[in-house]
Structure 1
Amino acid sequence: MTADQYSSLCIGVTGLNANDNPGPGIAVIRALKAGLGNGIRIVGLSYESMEPGIYMHELVDKTYQIPYPTAGTAALVERLEYIQEKEHLDLIIPNFDSELYNFIRIGPQLQQMGIKTFLPSHGQLALRDKINLGDFGRKHGFNIPADYKLYTIDDLKKATDELMFPLMIKGKFYEAYAAYTMDQAVKSFHQLGAAWGYPVIAQQLIRGTEINIAALGDGNGANISIIPMRKLYITDKGKAWAGVTIEDPKLIALADNFARATNWRGGYELEIMCDADDNLFILEINPRFPAWIYLTAAAGQNQPEALVKMAFGETLTPFTEYQVGKLFIRYSWDHVVDIADFQQISALGEL
């Protein structure tokens, strides 16, 4: 495709929430506009009426609500067929872990509609799942903290005996809390199980420096882009509220090893802990762009832009350089909109 063709694309983007645990959608859109120009049309795909991106009209041209992932693929396809009739989407970029299974499954149907994606396979998705992460690490030689799958309180008691306090209690899809006592562990277990289902994961707590790596795999065992970031400010939910790009060949090698082991296709994020002995532990592998993905564009490797070009079959030369010392600081402000907009998206499912 030519630059003019890319600049006229219509792209659907999920993950429009921008609260204290933000979705990647807004950052993805900012990166797309920075790389492809403001002429692209962005169609937001939301799950709830209070997702702030719905009302950010300078970034999102039109928003449609789509069914929750639990509604299944038939409901999703039906809704996307309706949206496609109106919008003529060229590409969809899903940004939530919990929705990826459905979007991967309906890939052939999306292709028939004229909608492209650039996503991992179900097999790749399962490899890095929190419940499989320990087995994956042992098979491929990655350092993974010891973990325990929790279905009941008895499981939690066994995990605390084995892992000892403090430990991390993690939701199946999102959220994680440090537990220093049994009361804290029980509270987190019930809270995360109710929110995300079971199993909940108990994981050995590794102390050190928190580092995240945003990368883009080509599906053939290589990365097109790798950007490591050290967290400078972390929220109580463990989310980076500030971070800086860093240079470390070991981090690049770790991401390259992951791509070779999985043939990963699409964006992903490695959550790393570097301990006092400089050992790198993989805490989580998120199967999509992180919420701080705009930093990759600012540092010189625009990963969302590159994903779009790969989705359309363009062969890209892997990036080799980026700007070290690029700092992001997340902030919030009150975005004032008319109540009529909220009523319209709530009642009609589109705005």
Structure 2
Amino acid sequence: MTLQPTRPRYTIAVTGLNAIDSPGPGVAVIRALREAPGFAVRIIGLSYEALEPGIYMHELVDKTYQIPYPGAGTTALLERLTHVQEHEHLDLLIPNFDAELPNFIRLSGRLLVLGIRTFLPSLEQLDQRDKLHLRAFGQAHDLLVPDDEPVFRLDELRRAGERLGYPLVVKGKFYDATVAHTWEQAQKAFHQLHATWGLPVIAQEFVAGHEINIAGLGDGAGRLISAVPMRKLYITDKGKAWAGITLEDPALLALAEQFVAATHWRGGFELELMRGSGGELHIMEINPRFPAWVYLTAASGQNQPAALVHLALGEPVAPMQGYAVGRMFIRYAWDLITDNTEFHQISAFGEL
């Protein structure tokens, strides 16, 4: 009888468990990790709120700890992660929210001392692709990026609208965007985004066309490890993809390679694109982490979260070739039933 080699088992912490109508990437990342052929996992969820659905998905998440909000700073986060590490012995941590990344990046060296690996972009890389600097980044690297302007006051928004024209895209500095067709709609969006995400709000030139997204993974040395493009088939009122299909298009893969070569991007990313009537590709946003639809990459033959684990462990990873074209995802709502004792436990003790 031939004995099968035992797969290594890693304990991996994952944030972004809010699988709601505007979902975080955490649950999708966990699904991909659990299907990785090269290793087994124990998943530790890191949550911010007690009603994040991923907390209660016990078939995916083995245990959850609440962590402080990003605004609490690095000291509070490190203290909490030190506590988690004492009990769970994490091998790797995968953050999945834009707003939390600066703290995790700043702590990456100290986390490594604790035995917790990460595979994240640098603060400089994070800053280069920020919405506030995206236009300049595009000009520096010969990438098409719509004109935009940060605005702090309504009079600045009015001037931006007059210069950029309507429809006008009004964006929060971290998340959310509204296409305003009138000045009144732009004002409303400004107030909502200011209240939710703070200032500045970004006014961006509207580009008509078809929305396309690319989920990718860079090795930090200029190599593109994986890129899977997807066209949105259904979009919610919050602009989130609720259904999508993988595409075969060399131009999209070339754009992902151009981005990684220019930035030496380290980790997962998402390019949000608009394809104009002439076929030109405009970069609307560059998200510095895996998207919420990243499980589609695993289902299409390129398991990006699993590849990130190998990279974080210092193992060689060859660029992936080929993926299933025409593979679709469709999200759906599901009533997850749990007991209120679990809710009380995570609320009162910060662990479940």
Q: Confirm or deny a common fold (TM above 0.5).
A: yes
Alpha-carbon separation, structure 2, partners of 1:331 and 1:314: 36
In the other structure, the counterpart of 1:233 is 234
Per the normalisation by structure 1, the TM-score is 0.98
In the other structure, the counterpart of 2:58 is 57
Alpha-carbon separation, structure 2, partners of 1:272 and 1:92: 28
8 Å CA contact 2:7–2:38 kept in 1: the answer is: no
Alpha-carbon separation, structure 2, partners of 1:207 and 1:73: 41
Q: Does 1:124 align with 2:125?
A: yes
Sequence identity of aligned pairs in percent?
61
Q: Aligned AA for 2:237? A: D
Measure how far apart 1:144 and its partner are: 0.5
Which runs of structure 2 are paired with 1:336-347 in the superposition (5 Å)? 336-347=337-348
8 Å CA contact 2:219–2:267 kept in 1: the answer is: yes
Cα deviation code 1:245-288 (max 9, x no counterpart): 00111100100000011000000000000011101000000000
In the other structure, the counterpart of 2:31 is 30
8 Å CA contact 2:7–2:40 kept in 1: the answer is: no
8 Å CA contact 2:7–2:39 kept in 1: the answer is: no
In the other structure, the counterpart of 2:143 is 142
Alpha-carbon separation, structure 1, partners of 2:225 and 2:134: 24
In the other structure, the counterpart of 2:108 is 107
Q: Does 1:215 align with 2:216?
A: yes
Alpha-carbon separation, structure 1, partners of 2:199 and 2:6: 47
In the other structure, the counterpart of 1:301 is 302
Cα deviation code 1:6-59 (max 9, x no counterpart): 3x1100000000111000000000000011579411000000001000000000
Alpha-carbon separation, structure 1, partners of 2:172 and 2:268: 21
Per the normalisation by structure 2, the TM-score is 0.97
Unaligned runs of 5+ in 2: none
8 Å CA contact 2:217–2:227 kept in 1: the answer is: yes
In the other structure, the counterpart of 1:192 is 193
Structure 1 segments (4+ residues) deviating >2 Å = 2-6, 36-39
Secondary structure at the residue paired with 1:76? helix
Measure how far apart 1:148 and its partner are: 1.0
> Closer, same or farther in 2 for the Cα pair 1:266/1:302, shift >3 Å?
same
Alpha-carbon separation, structure 2, partners of 1:216 and 1:278: 24
8 Å CA contact 2:10–2:39 kept in 1: the answer is: no
In the other structure, the counterpart of 1:252 is 253
Measure how far apart 1:164 and its partner are: 1.0
Secondary structure at the residue paired with 1:86? helix
In the other structure, the counterpart of 1:174 is 175
Q: Does 1:271 align with 2:266?
A: no
Alpha-carbon separation, structure 1, partners of 2:5 and 2:260: 29
In the other structure, the counterpart of 1:16 is 17
Unaligned runs of 5+ in 1: none
The size of the alignment, in residue pairs, is 349
Secondary structure at the residue paired with 1:40? strand
In the other structure, the counterpart of 1:67 is 68
Q: Aligned AA for 2:265? A: W
Alpha-carbon separation, structure 1, partners of 2:190 and 2:6: 51
> Closer, same or farther in 2 for the Cα pair 1:346/1:38, shift >3 Å?
farther
Secondary structure at the residue paired with 1:136? helix
Cα deviation code 1:144-178 (max 9, x no counterpart): 01111110011101111101111111000001111
